[in-house]
Amino acid sequence: MRYVGLATDGDGTVLKDNRMADDVALALERFRAAGGRLFLITGELVEQLAEFPRLDLFEQVVAENGAVLFDPATRGETILCEPPPAVLGKMLRERLASKVKCGRVVVTAKKESKREVEDVLAKLNIGWQIISNRKDLLLLPARVDKASGLKTLLKKIGLARNQVVGIGDAENDIALMRASGLGVTVADAEPQAKAHARLVTEGGAGGGVAELVERMMRDDLPSSDSSL
């Protein structure tokens, strides 16, 4: 196979409504059996991974939108950047109550709370960024995203970016696609994500990944853009 690695986003991409269809799981199993290497690159918090369907299929996980490297086999985790100051979560909870979730690093809020989030970050002046993910906002240190997480992972396992296909569905997956040899979205992806993809699958969430896997195993994909 020209591309031996598949780096996929979670819900909305390999999952549909937080479920993995049987045909998708079978396609991923065939890919692994053929020598393919499968990575989950997700915004999910580490503690949410326990509920992720068929996590055993993935060799490695980049969680919290690039902030944490997680090994499904050992349950070991490596935090790839500085965690948030405690005051960040405290101030956001005071403003937004239960709408805020805090992971090892990432802090999440709803998109309708963007003004309040921006105000808190401005007051703290900590240099954190806001990344959109459909209806959610992801707060992370500057330069931490799915691209930085994938680059760290590939360096660790000795795989080149031009050997990897990255597929997603939302704005935060643009960084993943740019860091991969070939950037792909599923058919029902956000328009902003589609605009940055070199390939859009015919199928939507779940089915689009199964379709992509079959094409990878047939070497029926465009060549890597090694200039990036």
From 120, 141, 162, give the residue that closes a domain: 141
d(CA 123, CA 181): 39
Question: Is residue 22 located within the same domain as residue 120?
Answer: no
Res. 228: pLDDT tops 50 = no
pLDDT tens-place string over residues 187-217: 999 999 999 999 999 999 999 999 999 999 9
Question: Is residue 153 located within the same domain as residue 115?
Answer: no
> Nearest to residue 4, comparing CAs of 217, 226, 148?
217
Give 226's pLDDT tier (boundaries 50, 70, 90): low
Return the SS3 of 199. Answer: strand
From 103, 121, 141, give the residue that closes a domain: 141
Task: Tell me the mean pLDDT in the region 99-119.
Answer: 95
Question: Is residue 104 located within the same domain as residue 197?
Answer: no
pLDDT tens-place string over residues 132-178: 999 999 999 999 999 999 999 999 999 999 999 999 999 999 999 99
Residue 68: strand pairing partners? 63, 79
Residue 32 lies in a domain: yes
Residue ranges making up the domain that contains 10: 5-80+144-217
Cβ-based neighbours of 122, under 8 Å, separated by 6 or more: none
Question: Is residue 30 located within the same domain as residue 58?
Answer: yes
Q: Which amino acid is at 30?
A: R
Residue 73, domain CATH:
3.40.50.1000
Query: How many structural domains is the chain composed of?
Result: 2
